[in-house]
Amino acid sequence: MDNPQHVELLREQVLTLSQVNRRLSTMVADLERCRKTHEVLTGVAASGAGEPGIAAEMYRLTGLPVAVEDRFGHLRAWAGPNEPTPYPRLPVHKWAALVTQAQRSNRPIRDRNRLISLARSRTEILGVLALIDPEHRAGEHEVFALEHGSVVLAMELAHLQGLAETELRLRHGLMEDLLNGTDEADACSRAAALGHDLQGPHQVVVMQWQSPVADETVARAAVRTSRRFLDTGVLLTRQTGRVVLLMPWSGWRTPSPRWGDLHRALSKELRSSKGAIAIGRRCDSPSQIPRSYHEALRALSVRRSANNPNGVTTFDELGVYRLFVGNEGNHELRRFVDEWLGQLLNYDAEHRSELVTTLWQYFECGGNYDAAAKALLIHRSTLRYRLQRIRELGGYDLGAVDSRLNLHVATRAWRILCG
């Protein structure tokens, strides 16, 4: 008869072996799933399917909806059901805090109803890969897929960024030549190589946003935003403090250019409306592009010197200011300003007063005392005193039409020249 203790020992050994076998089977299955995940995601990276392909494979691997976002939280690709429209975005400060938290973690982190992992290079954040998981279903396999997927996404975004930067350098060189004047045949050939048809009518658009919005950020947003309004692409270059675009005249999806809509869309994209868009007149050949460019710069000068420096100004809207703005070497213009404002400018310089600024703001507000006083941040009685002092020093009749016209033009010209 078998020893009961011996039988019990054998039974325990059998149970232990069964447990080990089950664990080994689980480990083998997990390794196989990891191998498959690695194989699938590596394959999609090599296939050229891009961000939509990565999102689609992640959805098939995890069974959870997937979002690919850029570094600012904008949706770039979605896979799975229930895509939100519009796509929700965090406020800037909350987004920055989330990215900082994710950078400090070596693994994906949970952000409300989703798991996120950063797609990053050695030096910067390129994008975000997110699993939409409101029921907290994601386990180790899903986390592994998310980690590996973010690495593949980083490779894809770095590749796209490299291509974009190369194309941007080529476009920048072409644009600088076009703005300064260049051989038309050569310019058309270079533009065609970049997929842009230069032989139709165009116009130059200059954009300038206030700090802290960087020129590079404005440039990228301008390209993305223009695609919503145009059936064709644009040429673009960044300059210090501004971005210059060359836009096809007839490429708009609307019957006529909707510059106000473009400004609003760009303001929304940049999360700041503190910017100006200025547009030169139509140019029918590349040789006319420098003229349109200088017209856009003139329109920008007027917009920036106006009471409201933000918004849209076309060269055609400048009226009398087309005759002189933007030409800093115009001695006749400076003589005109000195003739009408010389005494006030000298008085301001000697007494550190603001009589010329007061006069300019008064005219910009249409002669409205309350509006001018509010804009100058002074009391109405102070404004009346300053205007009386202006009458005494210059001998002006502010009620006379000719005097008001010349003084208004002179103050606007002074603003532009000093700009």
Per-residue pLDDT at 29 exceeds 60:
no
119, 126 Cβ separation under 8 angstroms: yes
CB 238 within 8 Å of CB 256: no
How would residue 7 be classed by pLDDT, with cut points 50, 70 and 90?
low
Residue 149 Cα distances to 43, 53, 87, angstroms: 11, 11, 21
Q: How far apart (Å, rounded) are the C-alpha atoms in residues 278 and 311? A: 9
Least confident of 13-27, 120-134, 240-254, 267-281: 13-27
Average pLDDT score over residue span 372-400: 90
Q: How much of the chain, in percent, has pLDDT values that exceed 90?
A: 30
Average pLDDT estimate for 107-136: 89
Q: Where are the alpha helices (DSSP H) in 194-319?
A: 215-229, 259-270, 289-305
pLDDT tier at 18, thresholds 50, 70, 90:
low
End-to-end CA distance of the chain: 109
**Tokens, residue 179:** 């703005």
Q: Where are the beta strands (DSSP E) in 271-351?
A: 275-279, 311-314
Residue 419 pLDDT exceeds 70? no
- pLDDT (tens digit, 9 = 90+) per residue, 62-90? 899 999 998 888 898 999 999 998 898 88
pLDDT confidence of residue 255: 72
Using a 10 angstrom Cβ sphere, with 0-12 exposed, 13-18 middle and 19 or more buried, the burial of residue 311 is middle
Q: 278 pLDDT band (50/70/90 cuts)? A: very high
